Amino acid sequence: MIQAIGLTSVPRRNRPPVVDDLTFEARPGRVTVLLGEAGAGKTSTLRLMLRLDPGRGVALFRGRSLDRVAHPVREVGVLLGDVPGHPGRTARGHLRMLGAAAGVPAARADEVLDVVGLSGLADQRIGDFSRGMDRRLGVAAALLGDPHTLVLDEPTAGLSPRETSWLHGLLRGYAAQGGAVLVTSSSPAEAARVGDQVVTIHRGRLVADQESEVFARARLRPRVAVRSPSAARLAHIISAEAEAASPPSEAPPVEVVHEGGGALAVYGSTCAAVGETAFRHGILVHRLAEEVEAGPVPPLQRADGRRPADAAPIPGRDAPEGSLSRVQPPLPTPGPAWPLRYEFHRFAGVRTGWVTAAAALLLSLLAAVLLARAGAAEPGLLAGWPAPLPLPPAALGAGVLGALAFGQEYRYPALAPDAGAVPRRLALLGGKLAATALAALLLALSTVALDAAVVRLLFGEAVPLLPEAWPVALAGWLALVLGCAWAGLLAAGLFRSTLLGLVAVLVVPTLVVPVVSAVLARPAARSLAGLPERLRATAPLQWPAGLDEGVSTALRLVSQPVGWALVLSLTGLLGAYVLTVLRGRPR
């Protein structure tokens, strides 16, 4: 059950709202069509219901607003526009990534691909899909969480008649199993064919809420479209024969309208009758087809919403053309590991992250070889960090990986319909922080190991590799790469751009570090010297061995200008991101 109550969009520039006090219901076991011409406010209505756009009013899904649903993907399946997926990702990989976010088993991806007829194209890239295949994948993504409700925006736009018929059958089969289906359409004929209930809107306001049979009688008028070089003569003959018909029939009277040129519109007749008349009189016909003409939008009217038991079936609608097999048992509740599963599938599904890591390793190796040849010192040598560069290649690569974690999600917003659940967004942030930290640390360690092995192979024992305080140097190196990765991640999540996330990484050494260096260069009246001893004296428990040295190392790292700059930048970015999440929480 969907209940939309008083939906009103935010007006812009003194213009009336796109959606104005719209109220309607979509009941389970029925297909409800939201009908309106282009610009009537159909898509804006769906976005208001899904809390993707600001506005007033409320949309309840089985009595709860979307922000009150713990796992929205399992309550409502959504298709808005084209499939929002990375073009380099395969169909199976895309669905498995979304399934990990929804906490469903990986096998569910193959099940829904089979339902929509894409099982043979599971390993094909999304960027190579046709319009019809794209629509099928979008429906598969909507069905992934086995939701109770489907919300689809113009699902048949650009589809062939065969694909349109298949989709109509799928929606009717879903509704027949108790699901609530809400689709938008601009075609009255399609609305009457697929819908059980038709909600007509005009300029964002409710015009009519009717049973499909009532809607078809009030709005649809069948006619025969004719094109002939002797259109005027044929029109005269059809009218004359209709007037001469005796006795009078209870059928609607025959009406012929000349539409200009050789085109006629014949109302109250059939293709067979018009074709026989033209044949008897030897009139050449170039076109003869049955059409449905939509009448004008009626004034506001409502129906009780109940379909009569003896209602006559609508041809092409009540006879099922397909069925939806919802064979998946009740899905398990997502555990705490689902954000990490989502991040794994997101990172591994495209080549961008792997190429970035490989490029960072190669650039670092090249820099290390050149530094070793020039006789550089140990710390910068293993990191591949020439003095003129603000950051070493590995740290910059980690920043790119972090920026891609959020940047790609905003560029290809696969999770946009699920954005209403604040706990999901915070959990997703935790998963991204953990996955990015793991990738950054692996990249940092791989850089040191690869640079050391190649430099030792090329130049032998003559090149010293490890400094005396190598644990402190290694800890500082790992902290630098990790801080850059997190800075790119948080900045991309805050500014919703991969490029701006990378810019934030470069801002730390070029702008923040000089400012922090100037502040730290001033003489200090007090210092943190002796902090580990004071902590040991105040702690009631016995400290593990080596903890003093670890605290001292951490203090030395943070006391450096780069350490202070990263700590300040990460704190500011994290606080700003959390504030944006809380401010975006629906009220």
Q: Residues 6 or more apart from 247 whose CB is under 8 A from it?
A: none
Q: Which helix or strand (DSSP H or E) is residue 493 part of? A: helix 470-495
Tell me: the pLDDT tens digits for 330-347?
A: 566 666 677 888 888 888
Is pLDDT at 535 greater than 70 in this prediction? Answer: no
pLDDT value, residue 397: 94
| Confidence category of residue 16, pLDDT binned at 50, 70, 90 | confident
Whole-number mean pLDDT of the chain? 81
Amino acid of residue 82: D
Decide if 116 contacts 142 (C-beta within 8 A).
no
Q: Residues 6 or more apart from 76 whose CB is under 8 A from it?
A: 50, 61, 66, 69, 147, 148, 149, 150, 151, 417
Dig out the tokens for 189 from the structure.
């004929």
DSSP H helices, 349-469, are: 352-374, 378-383, 393-411, 422-459
Report the share of the chain in percent with pLDDT over 90.
33
Tell me: the pLDDT tens digits for 178-202?
A: 999 999 999 888 898 899 999 999 9
| Confidence category of residue 357, pLDDT binned at 50, 70, 90 | very high
More confident residue, 300 or 36: 36
Tell me: the pLDDT tens digits for 462-495?
A: 777 776 777 777 888 888 899 999 999 999 988 8
Q: Rounded CA gap, 129 and 582, in Å?
A: 38
β-pair partners for 7: 22
Decide if 357 contacts 401 (C-beta within 8 A).
yes
Report the share of the chain in percent with pLDDT over 70.
78
Q: How many residues does the chain have?
A: 587
Residue 435: closest CA among 390, 485, 469, 477: 485
Neighbours of 582 (CB within 10 A): 10
3-state SS class at 492: helix
Region 349-356 average pLDDT:
90
Is pLDDT at 396 greater than 80 in this prediction? Answer: yes
Is pLDDT at 254 greater than 90 in this prediction? Answer: no
Residue 392: closest CA among 383, 403, 404: 383
- Please provide the DSSP assignment of 308-335 as one string: PTTPPPPTTTSS-S------PPPPPPP-
pLDDT value, residue 32: 96
Query: What sign for the dihedral angle of Cα 346, 352, 355, 357?
Result: negative
pLDDT value, residue 246: 58
Region 14-36 average pLDDT:
92
DSSP state at residue 200? E
β-pair partners for 267: 223, 255
Neighbours of 244 (CB within 10 A): 7
CA 271 → CA 220, 225, 234, 278, distances in Å?
17, 8, 14, 11
Dig out the tokens for 24 from the structure.
């309607």
pLDDT value, residue 561: 65
Q: Residues 6 or more apart from 441 whose CB is under 8 A from it?
A: 478, 481, 482
∠ CA 216-218-224, nearest 5°, is 65
3-state SS class at 289: strand
Question: Which range has the worst mean pLDDT, 59-68, 250-259, 489-498?
Answer: 250-259
pLDDT value, residue 389: 81
Question: Which range has the worst mean pLDDT, 160-169, 199-208, 295-304, 363-372?
Answer: 295-304
Question: Which range has the worst mean pLDDT, 137-151, 164-178, 374-388?
Answer: 374-388
Token pair 């991309």: residue: 492
pLDDT value, residue 313: 38
pTM value is 0.73
Tell me: the pLDDT tens digits for 504-523?
A: 888 877 777 677 666 656 66
Q: Rounded CA gap, 360 and 389, in Å?
A: 14
More confident residue, 22 or 14: 22
- Please provide the DSSP assignment of 213-265 as one string: HHHHHHHEEEEEEEE-TTHHHHHHHHHHHHHH-SSPPSSPPPEEEE-STTEEE
Q: Rounded CA gap, 78 and 91, in Å?
A: 17
Tell me: the pLDDT tens digits for 83-116?
A: 778 888 999 999 998 888 777 888 899 999 999 9
Region 263-272 average pLDDT:
89
Query: What sign for the dihedral angle of Cα 101, 118, 160, 296?
Result: negative
Strands 255-258 and 301-302: unpaired
Region 55-67 average pLDDT:
89
Q: Residues 6 or more apart from 534 whose CB is under 8 A from it?
A: none
Q: Residues 6 or more apart from 329 whose CB is under 8 A from it?
A: none
Region 557-575 average pLDDT:
75
| Confidence category of residue 308, pLDDT binned at 50, 70, 90 | very low
CA 550 → CA 177, 426, 566, distances in Å?
61, 30, 19
Is pLDDT at 421 greater than 80 in this prediction? Answer: no
Distance of CA 171 to the CA centre of its chain: 21
